[in-house]
Structure 1
Amino acid sequence: MYLENIKTDFYEFITGKRICLITHYDIDSICTCKILQSLLKHNQTLYTLDIVRGVSDLRKIFSENCNDVKYFVLINCGGTVDIVELLDPDDDIIFFILDSHRPTDLCNIYSNGQIRLMWNMEEDVQIPDFHDIFREQTSDADESENSQNESEDESEERAAKRRRLGEEEILKRRERRLWEANRAKLIFDYTQFTYYSKASALVMFDLAWKLNRDDKDLLWYAIVALTEQLIFGKIENTQYVLETGNLQAHTTRLQNRSSDTDDATSLKISFERDLKLVLYRHWSVEASLKYSMFTACKLKLWSLKGDKRLHELLADMGLPLAQSRQNFLSMDLQLRQEFSGSIERLSEKYGLTDIIYATFVMTYGYRNKYCACDVVYGMLTILESSPRSKRPEESFQLALDCLSRSHRIILNNAIDKGKGITKTLFKTVQSALEMKQIISAGPFIYYIVQEGCVDWFMFSHQHILALLAQFIIRAYVAMSRNRKASSLPLIVSANKDMESGMCIIMGIPPLCENSPKNFFGKAFDQAAEQINYNTTCDYFDTAYFDIPIKDRTRFLDALTALLS
């Protein structure tokens, strides 16, 4: 069921109670957790924090805590699965779920109060009516048991009545079959696409605002979560624009409310027009232009012709190579100040018309300036580029710490390492194009990360694989002579690890749709059935799927036949 008032029905309800806080292993969850931790500290609520990556982790964490805790708060996990069926909880256990994954499981929506969803019904699309999905039915076993207890006279009378009502019974059965067929269609229509709704951190910040507990730090966490959704293509651009408008109003309000005007300590958040260049404030201009997905695909920088085009752009901007190859902060002040305007002025000439976008920039002290996307890449690096020996809980905690201004060294180190991720993405795409490894299967294109390619093990992580998929599909469309290239979806696959013999497969919709709604979740399930591979998806986002490496070719063949 949906909560009518998150302030009273959630925050005031859990005050003074012990809760188990279970969060998904992603950036939005970390930002949401950071805001919620601040609110729980104010009302002195005790909690334990656990991290989950999939459905099996959720089941394990619940079983470890269900005897001691009666209130569970789930962040970005649990909304898309039937919690009661999955966990079989006692009747007195209550789950509060804040999840941006969609579609929401219908059993959770129509729960009688054990499952409490912390968002509005309007954020879920085309919810079927309760009576179209759930219907009381008499068990055949109960009927047979009742008939055994009847006397002979009663049995004969019942048989005569059945004969008289035979036609009515046939009509009822026909009505039942029609209802079940309609139910199946409604459920399929409701669940056929997976997508993302509003970032959970935005909902949690809205709660902090209503409680008058908000500040600029909490606002910044919400901004980072929204930016993560944009970078990973989780939401449409129009949704991003609407949310930035709301956050801009909060920025102005909190800036006016603040009494801290000391430049050395105060935090300032500004709404700015910025460039779609990765980490350029912390890198050299040439490297950022070369390795950013946007400019790489627009200028085809993986080719010699593209490389020449890049140097032409730098020359037109009046930017000497010596300046463009040193750290951005070390460039001449005038060149630095004119950089953004110079690219915007030449954007039409070089086909970079969409290079400017609206975002937020945080500054504090005299030298600390971060764009929201810088922080996203830093956190991504901590979560998915850490040594394999480091436990997920350690990486999650480190990512939590890097959001705090007092731990800027952690963030700076992560941003430096993040440059390596963008280089690896670029080199992988360049190799895929040169070796012609992006294969057309008819209804879709696919790419398999080859074991032994540059840092291949990095792509066993969800979000880095998602960035690679975005890069691959844009590069393919930019290079392909096929007019239908932009209408083809993409599947990418990478080995998870050599010990398990498993690989991860993910799919993204075609570029022409301009919508992040993804149909591959249903398609993966149906293809797995066709090859008799019985498994349930362990990911909360069903656009990802695990399968044995030895079955991958058969799985792709089945998918091709299914989508043809």
Structure 2
Amino acid sequence: MAQRSPVPKFGNWDNGENVPYTAYFNKARQGRNAAKMINPNDPEENPNMFSDSSSSVQGPTSRFGAERGEPVEQVAGRSRHQQQRSREDGHLWQFTDSPATHDNFGASSESPHHRPVGRGVNSGETRRKPARPNGGPEHGVERSPLHRHARVSTRDGGVSSHSLDGKPSHDSSHGTPGRYRLKPETRGDETEIHKYVGPSLSSSDAPVSILLINWGCHRDLRKVLNLGPAAHVFVVDSHRPIHLHNLSDQNDRVVVLYTRDDEHQTDLAYDFDVPALANACDLNSDDEADEELDSEDENDSESEEEGDGGGSRKRRKVSEDNNTDPVQVFRKLKREYYHMGTFHGKPSGCLMYDLSHTLRKNTNELLWLACVSLTDQFVHQRLTDERYQAGVMELEQHINSSGNLESVTLVTLKDGTKIRAPNASKIAYEDEPRLMLLQEWTLFDSMLCSSYIATRLKTWSDNGIKKLKLLLARMGFALVDCQQKFQYMNLEVKRKMKDEFDRFLPEYGLTDFYYRSFLRLHGYRSRVSAADVVYGVTALLESFVTTDSSCASKQFGVAYDALSLSNLDKLKAGMQHAIKIQRAILRQGSTAITKSGCIRSGRKFRWVKLEDSVDTKLLGYPQALTKFCYFLMDALREKGARMKPLLCACLSQEASKVLIVGVSGKPRLGAVQGNAFGIAFRNAAEEIGVEFFHELFESSWIVLDAAAVNSFMVRLTEKL
């Protein structure tokens, strides 16, 4: 048997010289800074690394940091911070930045002409990426799980993990550098996107992917973004109608997350095949000119209807069988689709969760965000009660199958005592009263200001307050208890609330006071409802004081952080701001209803103008003004007024600018018309020749010069 060669001593492994191994280290340190070196694996020298026993996220993060030349102490501290936030907060980056996620996405979603970077499904080890200069990755765009270069864009304020130049855009950056970039778009400016997806991007370059969340369906993205051959846009948007060019099979640059089953469940009813209509479109045609022509034809048809007393409506809606010209049939169907008005499909958060569930990447955090997105549409009256109930039933099934059911966990202490220990965090569902921010308010104030009760009891008047106090007395609730913060209110009152409300509220016409809602429970510490999260986050989004994009992006970052259970202080701050907004709605609503001539009525709609300098600072935002419009419509309905769409004008945060919002009422199942103010707003503003801004989150929002409001309303009255 051959004798193996002896193992050399520590030191020189190439020959048999007995050189101490420390001599090589001392030689390597010559010429370097005399900074203190620490051993990152020693718990005494680097305690941050060992403060948590769970360190699965730490390794990759430290590797990425070391590649950028960061000190070991900084890498370890940052890795621990990201690990703790990923475990407790459960941000969306848990879904996108886990090693398993990169493996699957790299294998399934990568371009066939480009090998994925890092460890793939079939690869045995992770290839080390070369260090990059501080200027950022190639092309200035960071890595994505879907493609090598990607950019995630959101509308109406946002948070950026890294700005377009590779630097953090605000203090709170989310996500791991080198994976994806979250960039908000607030003013409809697509010039930044052009730098990465425009014609200058050749087909030989690595593919660039853009994910548009809750924006983009209504625009011809292929034309607006001027997409290059290596660029792809993925759209997850609940706004309807969808631009037909985005759905066409000829358009391989834009992919809309869209299923026919979801569209069949929308509130508005239409009996034509939208994908087939999209495939009949010519992508190279001047679609905007066609839409303008269609708009003129529609206006002419409406004028004929008015002159004929409605008889031309039957003539205009001719069946396809009687029309032999396919071009005319196509134009007619396209005109009907675009002029249905705006409405909403399945919430974007629910679509994203369905995608993660299909990929088996669903987590409790993503499920909670889906619950919040569905509740957002319900709170802001973007879907019918029937569709909301269907969505609730679907999410309840996911909650039950995800291990969120109530379970008794017994823990035995050292002395043998058994105690009940709650789960760290879980999602539950239960019937919740239509009382706004009850957990952060008092029962009396919540009933006084919530739109559901305030509009029915008319709590802005002395008689309405008397009714409210009488109702509480009949239920046996002491006024002193009801005026305490709900968190510290009498437990006996809390226990009896549901039974007493079910007993007495139907006498006041409040028959649907309770609705199915979702709760996030975090041990014994917190109990947050999805509706409260919607109120708080919406208030944070609309609390910027200036209109520049940096301020709006900062507020988006604050709102993004507020979605996490570890940032309840930010969420509670948003809830308190939402309470101020609701009080302003009650004040201005009572003034508009009781003051004669404040609400002007036209043939097709009503409109009101807010001029209070104090409350306009709270209500001069699109979503807050929309809530005010719905409050007025509910109050007018309770007074017996005929239902009409309502417009509200309010001073904007910009100097000498006015924000105008139009609502057509709560969606009704089987309706044939949505919110028709979008096209009417643009046409009226163009015809009077005034400068306007119409690229807001909803097409029924528009910003005009303050001096042009009256002429705009006159022209709008003539068109509608």
The Cα of 1:205 is off from its aligned counterpart by: 0.9
Structure 2 unaligned blocks of 5 or more: 1-103, 111-144, 162-173, 202-206, 264-269, 286-322, 410-419
Q: Distance in 1 between matches of 2:515 and 2:501?
A: 13
The Cα of 1:45 is off from its aligned counterpart by: 7.0
- Which residue matches 1:559? 716
1:208/1:432 CA distance change after superposition, 3 Å? same
* Residue of 504, 508, 515 corresponding to 2:659: 504
* Residue of 615, 637, 643 corresponding to 1:477: 637
Give the letter aligned to residue 412 of structure 1. K
**Contact kept in structure 2, 1:18 and 1:45, CA below 8 Å:** no
SS in 1 for 2:518: strand
Q: Distance in 1 between matches of 2:519 and 2:561?
A: 19
- Which residue matches 2:46? none
The Cα of 1:184 is off from its aligned counterpart by: 3.5
SS in 2 for 1:77: coil
Spell out the pairing of 1:96-495 with structure 2 (5 A cutoff). 96-110=234-248, 111-124=250-263, 126=272, 127=274, 129-130=277-278, 132-134=280-282, 181-192=328-339, 193-255=341-403, 263=421, 266-388=424-546, 391-436=551-596, 437-452=598-613, 454-479=614-639, 481-482=640-641, 485-486=642-643, 488-495=644-651
Range 340-349 or range 293-302, more displaced: 340-349
**Contact kept in structure 1, 2:381 and 2:666, CA below 8 Å:** no
Identical residues among aligned pairs (%): 25
SS in 2 for 1:347: helix
Q: Deviations along 1:63-89, whole A, 9 cap, x unmatched? A: 354478721111111111001221212
Q: Deviations along 1:319-347, whole A, 9 cap, x unmatched? A: 11110101012111111111122112111
Spell out the pairing of 1:68-83 with structure 2 (5 A cutoff). 70-83=208-221
Q: Distance in 2 between matches of 1:413 and 1:131?
A: 48
Does residue 704 of structure 2 align to residue 547 of structure 1? yes
**Contact kept in structure 1, 2:440 and 2:485, CA below 8 Å:** yes
Range 535-544 or range 395-404, more displaced: 535-544
TM-score for both structures, normalised by structure 1: 0.81
Does residue 674 of structure 2 align to residue 526 of structure 1? no
The Cα of 1:399 is off from its aligned counterpart by: 1.2
1:84/1:296 CA distance change after superposition, 3 Å? same
1:257/1:433 CA distance change after superposition, 3 Å? closer
Q: What's the C-alpha RMSD, in Å, of the aligned pairs?
A: 3.1
Q: Distance in 1 between matches of 2:507 and 2:398?
A: 37
Q: Deviations along 1:98-138, whole A, 9 cap, x unmatched? A: 1111111111111431011122144456426256543999x
1:555/1:9 CA distance change after superposition, 3 Å? farther
Give the letter aligned to residue 425 of structure 1. I
**Contact kept in structure 2, 1:451 and 1:495, CA below 8 Å:** no
- Which residue matches 1:151? none
Q: Distance in 1 between matches of 2:382 and 2:527?
A: 26
- Which residue matches 1:143? none
**Contact kept in structure 1, 2:693 and 2:702, CA below 8 Å:** no
Range 464-473 or range 10-19, more displaced: 10-19
1:121/1:113 CA distance change after superposition, 3 Å? farther
**Contact kept in structure 1, 2:384 and 2:667, CA below 8 Å:** no
1:387/1:529 CA distance change after superposition, 3 Å? closer
The Cα of 1:401 is off from its aligned counterpart by: 1.1
Does residue 233 of structure 2 align to residue 95 of structure 1? yes
**Contact kept in structure 2, 1:287 and 1:325, CA below 8 Å:** yes
**Contact kept in structure 2, 1:201 and 1:225, CA below 8 Å:** yes
1:287/1:87 CA distance change after superposition, 3 Å? same
Q: Which structure has the larger Rg over C-alpha atoms?
A: 2
The Cα of 1:358 is off from its aligned counterpart by: 0.8
Q: Deviations along 1:205-227, whole A, 9 cap, x unmatched? A: 11222222222222111101110
**Contact kept in structure 2, 1:20 and 1:65, CA below 8 Å:** no
Aligned residues: 500
Give the letter aligned to residue 508 of structure 1. V
Q: Distance in 2 between matches of 1:178 and 1:553?
A: 43
Kindly indicate whether structure 1 or structure 2 has the higher relative contact order, using CA contacts under 8 Å at least 6 residues apart.
1
Structure 1 unaligned blocks of 5 or more: 1-6, 31-39, 138-175
SS in 1 for 2:508: coil
